[in-house]
Amino acid sequence: MVRKGEPMRGLSEKNAVVTGASFGIGHATVKRLAEEGCNLFIIARTQSRLYELCQELRGDGAVVDFAPADFTKSDDIENAANIAIGFFSELGGIHILVNNAGTYEGKPFLELDTESWDYMLNLKLRSMFQISRIIGNDMVVSNRKGCSIVNMSSTNGLIGETDGAHYNAANGGAITLTKTMAIELGKHGIRVNAVCPGMIRTRITKPVWDNPDILNVWKKKLLLGRIGKPEEVAAAIAFLASEEASFITGECLVIDGGQLSH
Ligand SMILES: NC(=O)c1ccc[n+]([C@@H]2O[C@H](COP(=O)([O-])OP(=O)(O)OC[C@H]3O[C@@H](n4cnc5c(N)ncnc54)[C@H](OP(=O)(O)O)[C@@H]3O)[C@@H](O)[C@H]2O)c1
């Protein structure tokens, strides 16, 4: 389990909160941060997956706990954020917040209903704002050093793509939210960055990687000729959260195998 070679600078004994931690990119990020020596508080809806991950990481000696929460619900977000703050209060407080919770839904623009719009925007964007405000405030009030927030966006936040107006708008919003947070929190020493993954093999992209014809169309769009792995996004998130990225803020790191390069 212990990673061979040098660990990333400034992650050991940092306290990190990861949302959307039960599957996919969030799950991989938790494992990577734990390998780098972080203590963790993990959040998602599926309690059994969070429990299993906690047990696994505790077995490796990590300090870790979880709270189940539905991030379309304001009360759940506030509750989970406050439990996380309490959990880390005796350990030096939260240093890292990874806002990753989200989903994908494809729907043609003219068929897109306001319920779908609200669900997507609430889950991906409003939750990012809400938990960042609560935890960001805690970071500022305590004058904590070395704090960093990493927001999940997407290549869909940088370009339009058919059948996902609500998904694209939420991801575009995540980029401008990131830049605004970076401006306002920079004076407190808090760095705020976004990651923009392209096509990554997780639950939400199963219709692509599970269908050889669709997968081949995608492979042709990617300079590396393959789709990405959750661990490849987790590595970028860990980098942005670490002291290796100490002069990087307000940035969007694209992790897309070259999709947007042509
Ligand atoms: N995969 C890609 O190609 C790709 C590309 C760009 C961006 N992204 C973004 O990356 C993030 C992670 O997605 P993924 O690809 O890893 O998909 P995933 O495997 O389905 O993971 C999504 C995570 O978000 C959580 N989540 C979903 N709805 C939630 C809700 N209502 N409340 C709380 N947590 C919720 C899920 O946990 P529960 O179901 O247990 O709640 C899960 O842990 C998303 O924001 C997605 O938009 C993905």
Q: How far is the CA of 141 from the centre of ligand 1 (A)?
A: 30
Residue 166 binned pLDDT confidence (cut-offs 50, 70, 90): very high
226 pLDDT exceeds 70?
Answer: yes
151 pLDDT exceeds 90?
Answer: yes
29 pLDDT exceeds 90?
Answer: yes
Domain count, the chain: 1
What is the pLDDT, as a whole number, of residue 8?
Answer: 84
Considering the chain, what is the average pLDDT of its residues?
97
Residue 138 inside a domain? The answer is yes
What percent of the chain stands above pLDDT 70? 98
DSSP codes joined into one string, the chain: -PPPSPPPTT-TT-EEEEES-SSHHHHHHHHHHHHTT-EEEEEES-HHHHHHHHHHHHHTT--EEEEE--TT-HHHHHHHHHHHHHHHGGGT---EEEE-------B-GGG--HHHHHHHHIIIIIHHHHHHHHHHHHHHHTT-SS-EEEEE--GGGTS--TTBHHHHHHHHHHHHHHHHHHHHHHTTT-EEEEEEE-SB-SGGGHHHHT-HHHHHHHHHHSTTSS-B-HHHHHHHHHHHHSGGGTT--S-EEEESTTGGG-
| Residue 189: domain span | 15-257
Residue 143: give its domain's CATH number.
Answer: 3.40.50.720
Residue nearest to atom 38 of ligand 1 (CA): 45
What is the pLDDT, as a whole number, of residue 67?
Answer: 98
Q: How far is the CA of 163 from the centre of ligand 1 (A)?
A: 18
Residue 145 binned pLDDT confidence (cut-offs 50, 70, 90): very high
Q: Which tens digits make up the pLDDT trace of 92-103?
A: 999 999 999 999
Angle of CA points 227, 233, 239, to nearest 5°: 145
What is the pLDDT, as a whole number, of residue 69?
Answer: 98
Q: Say if residues 39 and 63 touch (Cβ distance below 8 Å).
A: yes
Residue 133 inside a domain? The answer is yes
Residue nearest to atom 25 of ligand 1 (CA): 20
6 pLDDT exceeds 90?
Answer: no
Residue 75 binned pLDDT confidence (cut-offs 50, 70, 90): very high
Residue nearest to atom 14 of ligand 1 (CA): 24
Mean pLDDT within 154-168: 97
Residue 132 inside a domain? The answer is yes
Residue 6 inside a domain? The answer is no
7 pLDDT exceeds 90?
Answer: no
Residue 5 binned pLDDT confidence (cut-offs 50, 70, 90): low
Residue 213 inside a domain? The answer is yes
What is the pLDDT, as a whole number, of residue 1?
Answer: 52
4 pLDDT exceeds 80?
Answer: no
What is the pLDDT, as a whole number, of residue 3?
Answer: 58
Residue 226 inside a domain? The answer is yes
pTM equals: 0.98
Residue 7 inside a domain? The answer is no
Q: How far is the CA of 249 from the centre of ligand 1 (A)?
A: 24
Told to judge if 167 belongs to the known catalytic residues of this protein, a careful annotator would answer: yes
Residue 2 inside a domain? The answer is no
What is the pLDDT, as a whole number, of residue 117?
Answer: 98
What percent of the chain stands above pLDDT 90? 96
